[in-house]
Each structure stands twice: as structure tokens, then as C-alpha cells.
Structure 1
Amino acid sequence: MAALRTGVFRLAVSTMHCRPGVFRKYSAGPLYQYILVDRKGHNQNVGFIQLNRTKALNALSDGLMAEINQALDVFEADPQIGAIVITGSEKAFAAGADIKEMQNRTFQECYGGSFLSHWNRISTLKKPVVAAVNGFALGGGCELAMMCDIIYAGEKAQFGQPEILIGTIPGAGGTQRLTRAVGKSLAMEMILTGDRINAQEAKEAGLVSRVYPVDKVVDEAITCGEKIANNSKIIVSMAKEAVNGAFELSLSEGNRLEKRLFHSTFATDDRKEGMTAFLEKRKANFNDQ
């Protein structure tokens, strides 16, 4: 997919100017129905995706997830973008998967069609993704947040995996990522009871890194994204790969991966520039090479 052109692109949804089912965009870029897409930061180097099914509490439909994946592919291919922020509304990051779409599915359809397999795109990106979570992050919404690399939470956020209450279990990584984030006991309690935890409990458990006032969390996530985007993009990708390896490899294997990636930085121009700038007491000028 072609990289973004210079300037901001976003969806303009207005019932005053658009016929039902027709959506406009302000400038170049894909046309979206369920999300708002923009560039943020002083240097416009942070990709921004906002879920926009507010009446449905941002329930994750197949169409919405397909649009998220499309926007992620655009940002991944854009050399100017160094980090991505995903958020919802103040009331709901995402209240779960769209139950209406799932209610009448059969086992044969789910298994044969690998249902939910395309929901994993966030976790395969090389560029870091920051989730800015306000309100409900439940079921698929909690799983979507956990696919991101960093989670910032508004002080009224709620996290949970309540699938057990509707006769099923998490299907987009909830049993795996939640357990790795908060430990077996709390994950088991949340998944088997359907109980939620609040933002402060999530921070204490290690699920989120920071908690902010509701009206500040998105801006703080963008600021975090800017800090990341100002570093060398190739080195950031290596660091992300190394950290993710800690969740999938043994300690010895993870250390070997880290060493290989560390050694690989010495093949980059940015490693040389970073160390030279440090010794010369100036700010590094990375070129992502």
C-alpha cells in the first residue's frame, strides 16, 4: 500500500453533508466508515486511529477491524510515521466484539474460516503502538488494548474479559496476553468470573503503565508516541522485537536474541550517529538507516 502523502488525512462524517452510508474524507488517504484517522505530534510523525462506533460503544465488528488493519498497513508503510496511537471515546475504548455478528455463527464457520484470525495485525507491526484507553475495555476491547505495546489508561477505565458470562471464552488472545500481563491468579479470576478491574488496579497488576485524567490520556499517549518517533525507527523496531521475545522465549533464548539484535545495531548509521552525538554533547540526528 502506498505511503501517506504529505498532510493530514481523516474521515469526515456528517449527516448534514453526507447521504446515509456515504462518508467523505478531507484529503488523500483511504475512505473509512468506522474509524477516524489522522497524524499527530509537532512533526506529524505519530499515526492516530480513533474507533468511531460511539453508539455501539465501539463494538468491534469485522468491518471496523478490517479498517483498523488497513490504517495500520498505511502507517507501517509511511516512513514519516514512527509510532501509532489507538483510542476510542471517553465512554468506551471498545466494549467488546460485536455480539450480533457472532450470535448465529456455527463451529464449522468459525473453524473453517479461522474466525478472528485477522484481529492480530496490531501485534505483528514493527512500529510501536500505544493504546489510550478511556471507559470500557472489555472482551475484544481488552484484547485489542493488550495487542498494543504500551497501554495508557484514563482514571475511569475498566478492563475485563467477560466472555464467560455469555457462554464462551476469549478468542483474540485474552487468555494468553492477560495471563502474561497480570499473572495466573488474577487472570484466572477475571476470566472465570467475568469481573472487571479499574485503571488503578490494572496499573498495580502491570496491565497498564500509566493512569491519567480522562481528558489527558490521549494527549499523553501522543506525547509518548512523539518521544518514540523521534528515535531511530530501525533501532526502535529492534528494541520492540527484543522485548516481545521475552514473552515467547526462554531466558537463554531471549538473551541470544537480544545479543544478535544488539550486535545488529552496529551495522546501522544511526548507532554510529547516536554514540558520536553523545560524545560530542549534541542531539543525535537519526536518518533511520
Structure 2
Amino acid sequence: MIIAKRRKGALEIQFNRPDRLNAINEEMAEEIMHAMDAVELDRKIIAVVLSGDQRSFCAGADLGGFQDLPEDRYDNYRARYNQRKNRLLYRFFMNYTKPVISAVEGYCLGGGFEMAMMGDIIIASESASFGLPEGRHSLIPGAGGTQNLPRLIGAPLAKEMIWTGRRISGAEAKEYRIVNHVVEQGKALAKVREIVEEMKGVGPLATMMTKQTINRGMDMTLQQGFLQEADLAYMLSWSDDRTEGLKAFSERRKPNFKGQ
């Protein structure tokens, strides 16, 4: 379902269901979580990189699994639905401490788009196509799409995309600030690798705490965000990496961060 490998400080996860356009099913979701969980405490890994193939990053949830959902009372159905592996995957992403960067070529639809938005940075190629077509199956984007997309592009544009099922190109996604960069077809993963290389110059603890304070701060008042930021800055000031960073600066050399 996936191909996971370590490469120059990153865990690279390639979705590997080409016959299904890399659509997510329960087994694939389980494998993604297992691979990411295995490196979360590994100080040598500074980021997780997600990719598909040239045709499709991820075309969404494998809808075949929805056809056999039993008819039952709403409460029982809701409990089962929330325990499905592909639902647990998105909650897993919310609490993941390392940066998650998506390299998008081709289709990035439905649950695939929602997964990319649950990460931290999206790099798209000119071939990328983003959309939330769930409404065409009388579904809603139920894995964070109704919450994350409005936060990125505003409610009116998010509603239009969801209500029409319209797809947007990589260039449009850049204009809407969904993606950070648009590159030539076939170059998305290379661009992500460049970013990971640049990230090596930043202390991994600082990266982790910055992710935490930005993500949590989005749901706080400005004053609450300032207080959280101050707490994390104080915690970081006692780290070995902070001492190494200041020492390297005074000695005019590159720091040797250990993630501690």
C-alpha cells in the first residue's frame, strides 16, 4: 500500500496503489500511521514527506468500503464511522509533532486533499488537480475538509469548491494560498527535498515547538497565543540545542543540533 524509506533526514512515504489512483483504504491508512509513528521520536528524522506517483498523489478514500456500511441506528453508526482507520489517520495527523510535507503530482482529491491539508506544507506541480468532490456522492468532506479549507482560503471560496465539486489547478491553489510553491511537472518531490535540506539548519526542537505553537494558536485568542509562545520559548531556552546554537553563532560555525 505504501513504500516508506529514510532519505537524508526525512521519512519519505510513497502511496502505492496505482491501480486505484492511490485512494486510501483501511490498510493503507494503517500503514501510513505505523510508518510515521515509528520515527516520531527518532531525532535523525526531521520531517515526513508524502508523495504518490506522476498520475495521482491520492484520489481520496476508496469508496468501495463505504458501500457495505451497515444500516443501523445513528449513534451506533457514528461510533463505528469515527473508528474507521482512515478517520483515525486524520486525527493522528493533527497531533503529529514532526513537519509533514506533501509533494503533489496529478490528482489530489477528497480524502487525499484533506490529508495534504492536515500536513504542514504542500508543494504542487503544474499537473496537480485539487478538489473535494464528496458532494457528488451525497457525502461531505468528513476528514477535516469543512474545517481546514475555510481556514486556508476563507468560507466563501471553500463553500463554492465543496458545493460545486470543482477542481482547481496547482496555479489556482497557489493563488488561494493552499500550496507554497508550484513547480514543473515531475519536480514536486525534488522541491520538497530542497526544503528538507534547508530545514537541517534549524534546530529540530525549535521546529517542533514552532509547529505546536502555530497550530494551537490558530484556535486561541491572540493573548492566549502570546502566553503559549512564551511558555514554549522558555522551555526551549533550557535545551542543549539552544546552547549549541548560540555557541555556534559566536564561533562562526554551523551548529550541530542533537534534538535535545
TM-score by length of 2: 0.93
Q: Note the alpha carbon deviations across 1:199-221, whole angstroms, 9 max, x for none.
A: 11111111111111122110111
Matched, 1:129 2:96: no
Matched, 1:149 2:120: yes
Equivalent residue letter for 2:148:
R
Judged with a 3 Å threshold, the aligned counterparts in structure 2 of structure 1 residues 273 and 76 are, in CA distance, closer, same or farther, namely: same
Unaligned segments of structure 1, at least 5 residues: 1-33
Verify the 8 A CA contact 2:59 2:109 in the aligned structure 1.
yes
Mapped partners of 2:41, 2:259: distance in 1: 14
Matched, 1:237 2:201: no
Equivalent residue letter for 1:35:
I
Q: Note the alpha carbon deviations across 1:193-245, whole angstroms, 9 max, x for none.
A: 11111111111111111111122110111221232244322221111101112
Matched, 1:119 2:89: yes
Q: Note the alpha carbon deviations across 1:124-182, whole angstroms, 9 max, x for none.
A: 21111110011111100100111111111111101111101111101100000111111
Verify the 8 A CA contact 1:84 1:225 in the aligned structure 2.
no
Mapped partners of 2:77, 2:141: distance in 1: 14
User: After the TM superposition, which parts of structure 1 deviate over 3 Å for at least 4 consecutive aligned residues?
Assistant: 106-110
Verify the 8 A CA contact 1:40 1:222 in the aligned structure 2.
no
Q: How does 1:136-215 map to 2 (within 5 A)?
A: 136-215=107-186
Verify the 8 A CA contact 1:180 1:247 in the aligned structure 2.
no
What is the deviation of 1:79? 2.6
Verify the 8 A CA contact 2:173 2:179 in the aligned structure 1.
yes
Equivalent residue letter for 2:233:
F
Matched, 1:37 2:4: yes
What is the total number of aligned residue pairs between the two structures? 253
Judged with a 3 Å threshold, the aligned counterparts in structure 2 of structure 1 residues 63 and 286 are, in CA distance, closer, same or farther, namely: same
Equivalent residue letter for 2:32:
I
Quote the RMSD (CA, aligned, Å): 1.4
Verify the 8 A CA contact 2:105 2:186 in the aligned structure 1.
no
Partner of 1:259: 230
What is the deviation of 1:279? 2.5
Partner of 1:228: 199
What is the deviation of 1:62? 0.7
Verify the 8 A CA contact 1:84 1:130 in the aligned structure 2.
yes
Mapped partners of 1:54, 1:137: distance in 2: 13
Partner of 2:62: 98
Verify the 8 A CA contact 1:48 1:85 in the aligned structure 2.
yes
TM-score by length of 1: 0.84
Out of 48, 53, 58, the position equivalent to 2:17 is 53
Verify the 8 A CA contact 2:52 2:104 in the aligned structure 1.
yes
- Larger helix proportion of the pair: 2
Structure 1 range deviating more: 162-171 or 249-258:
249-258
Equivalent residue letter for 2:237:
F
Judged with a 3 Å threshold, the aligned counterparts in structure 2 of structure 1 residues 282 and 192 are, in CA distance, closer, same or farther, namely: same
Equivalent residue letter for 1:176:
Q
Verify the 8 A CA contact 1:82 1:230 in the aligned structure 2.
no
Verify the 8 A CA contact 1:81 1:229 in the aligned structure 2.
no
Mapped partners of 1:247, 1:194: distance in 2: 27
Verify the 8 A CA contact 1:49 1:85 in the aligned structure 2.
yes
Partner of 2:46: 82
What is the deviation of 1:246? 2.9
Mapped partners of 1:214, 1:71: distance in 2: 27
Unaligned segments of structure 2, at least 5 residues: none
